[in-house]
Structure 1
């Protein structure tokens, strides 16, 4: 019996001691999200076994812009 790629990925992350969260935003995939130094990574593992990886990099410095959080919420409200 072949192990699904999702379980292979989770085993690799556990072995590497990389914290992750799982969520399901699409009916055909599970999203594995992890944050490592200077990078956020989103991995979609699909029912058929294929994997898509997105990385987001940038400054992790805190911002002192007074209305930044309000602006982010306003700009991303449905």
Structure 2
């Protein structure tokens, strides 16, 4: 797991969660047929939106940390 996490730059906990989700829901993929594809597209869109939000928050945190340096002394 640690090699996969390092190779794909994700936390090992995420790989464990993904594995658990696959093992619990793999049969449902074959039962639902085309519905799984639509769900995957929605998931990809959600991930893109969340990555964009993370980027916005990172920029805001960086800005605030630079502006607060004179007051916190770091």
The answer to whether TM tops 0.5 is no
Tell me which protein shows more strand as a share of its residues: 1
Using structure 2 for the length normalisation, give the TM-score: 0.29
Tell me which protein shows more helix as a share of its residues: 2
Kindly indicate whether structure 1 or structure 2 has the higher relative contact order, using CA contacts under 8 Å at least 6 residues apart: 1
